[in-house]
Amino acid sequence: MSTHTIVAPASGPGPAGVSIIRLSGPACAAVGMALLGGLPPPRQARLVRVLDPDGAPIDRALALFFKAPHSFTGEDVLELHVHGGPAVVRDTLAACLAVEGVRLAEPGAFSRRAFQNGKMDLTAAEGLADLVEAETAAQRKQALRQMEGALAGEVERWRETIIDSLADAEGDIDFPDEDLPPGLSLRARERIAALRASLTGFLDDSRRAERVRSGFQVVIIGRPNAGKSSLINQLAQRDAAIVSAKPGTTRDIVDVRVVLGGMVVLVSDTAGLRTSQDEIEAEGIRRARQRALDADLRLGLLTHEDERAEFADLMRPGDVWLLGQADRIAWPAAGSDEIVISSVTRQGLVQLEELIATRAQQDAARSEAPPLTRLRHQEAVREAVSALDRALNAPAEAAELVAEDLRLAARSLGRITGRVDIEDVLDRLFSQFCIGK
């Protein structure tokens, strides 16, 4: 438990009907006595008068008290639900800070105390941060599952499998001459191989979680002056990219974040694909081709049928050809992988938006397994896979090496939930939270 008490607004800034002032720590009782004349019974809301240090009233508010360890942080927690005017919030905070032992909370301080007091693991804390930042239903669902322990439960099952295998390996080390059941090493290797395959599958699927958090990546490719920038402005419903009749205007990648069908989509406008002697434009074309290769969906924008061959090497099965500038080009009937569009008349734009949203939703729903949402999760799993590979490739008689690699694998996975070696990630993680959380 901490020796000092922290306080901060737990609700958004600005005037509001209600603002929540949250305190956590041993001085909650003193704050209750100084500001309210006493604490309400635990877990019961009481209407109270909030007083300043001189005994003058600040506000009439609701007070809630949570006795340790039955609170979000595991400490005594006091919440004051005051009216949301700036003066009320300011003066209530000042009255709390006038009590000895109370100080302002830094970003993430409440959640960090919850972690340190065993109320949540690191994956739950990260899920909470993602839930606060969620813009779409898909992000909310993913964050809520992680906050409620879906990923932590999976990681713990992985660790238990390694520990079981480690017990088998150490049996060969500690009791080589004992009459133990045959096949201990074989049984351990079978578990290790199955776990390695499972971890590799999670790594292969990790981009799905990144797409839910950061956006399903769509890239528009085509020749200069095909209308890529006009199209991205239509999708964004604002002037996100410069539109000019001069070829080669777009030289770097322009990313626009939009929400389609409840999914975050990152649409990229790229340099027109052509042969260029201009060093800067050529670099933009190289980046455009690389971004196209990395994208989840490519939109090939055409102004003439002959242009397909120029960048067909970038298109993949399931990608879409856009037959552009339909307001002045008479295209034939579109095929199954084609959409006739015009940024001037908005012909085909609704169809295109629905297609992108459907693809993003299908991608997000591809697996029900709890995803690896953070780069640090993926790095830890990769380290565990490498250790398991070494264990599988060790000589049959080298039980000591197998056991050591299994310990390293378990340790790598333990870092995901915060069981081991977590000090280096705590500051970075909780500094990303808003103040009051």
- In the predicted model, what is the mean pLDDT of residues 323-343? 88
303 is in an annotated binding site: no
Return the structure tokens found at 354. Answer: 């629905």
- CA nearest to 23, candidates 87, 97, 85, 82: 97
225 is in an annotated binding site: yes
269 is in an annotated binding site: yes
Amino acid letter, residue 131:
L
Domain CATH for 351:
3.40.50.300
Whether residue 93 is found in the same domain as residue 17: yes
Spatial contact of 128 and 111, defined as CB atoms under 8 Å apart:
yes
56 is in an annotated binding site: no
Task: Give me the sign of the Cα torsion angle 135, 139, 141, 143.
Answer: negative
The pLDDT assigned to 203 comes to 86
Domain that holds residue 63: 5-105
Whether residue 53 is found in the same domain as residue 27: yes
248 is in an annotated binding site: yes
Tell me which of 74, 105, 136 is where a domain ends.
105
Domain CATH for 383:
1.20.120.430
The pLDDT assigned to 43 comes to 96
Whether residue 216 is found in the same domain as residue 355: yes
Return the structure tokens found at 84. Answer: 């949301």
Dihedral angle over CA of 139, 145, 148, 151, nearest 10: -110
Spatial contact of 82 and 101, defined as CB atoms under 8 Å apart:
no
395 is in an annotated binding site: no
Three-state SS at 385:
helix
In angstroms, the Cα distances linking 99 to 324, 377, 425 are: 67, 41, 32
The pLDDT assigned to 337 comes to 87
437 is in an annotated binding site: yes
- In the predicted model, what is the mean pLDDT of residues 408-421? 85
In angstroms, the Cα distances linking 262 to 265, 320, 356 are: 9, 21, 11
In angstroms, the Cα distances linking 220 to 85, 190, 255, 290, 377 are: 47, 46, 11, 12, 31
Predicted confidence (pLDDT) at residue 244 exceeds the cutoff of 70: no
The pLDDT assigned to 262 comes to 78
Whether residue 316 is found in the same domain as residue 283: yes
247 is in an annotated binding site: yes
Q: What is the DSSP letter of 354?
A: H
Number of domains observed in the structure of the chain: 3
197 is in an annotated binding site: no
Residue 273 lies in a domain: yes
Predicted confidence (pLDDT) at residue 181 exceeds the cutoff of 50: no
- In the predicted model, what is the mean pLDDT of residues 163-192? 64
274 — pLDDT class (breaks 50, 70, 90)? low
210 is in an annotated binding site: no
Spatial contact of 7 and 23, defined as CB atoms under 8 Å apart:
yes
Residue 325 makes CB contacts below 8 A (sequence gap 6+) with 226, 227, 303, 342, 343, 344
Whether residue 249 is found in the same domain as residue 351: yes
Whether residue 72 is found in the same domain as residue 172: no
Spatial contact of 374 and 126, defined as CB atoms under 8 Å apart:
yes
246 is in an annotated binding site: yes
Whether residue 90 is found in the same domain as residue 67: yes
Mean pLDDT estimate for the chain: 83
Whether residue 188 is found in the same domain as residue 132: yes
Whether residue 233 is found in the same domain as residue 314: yes
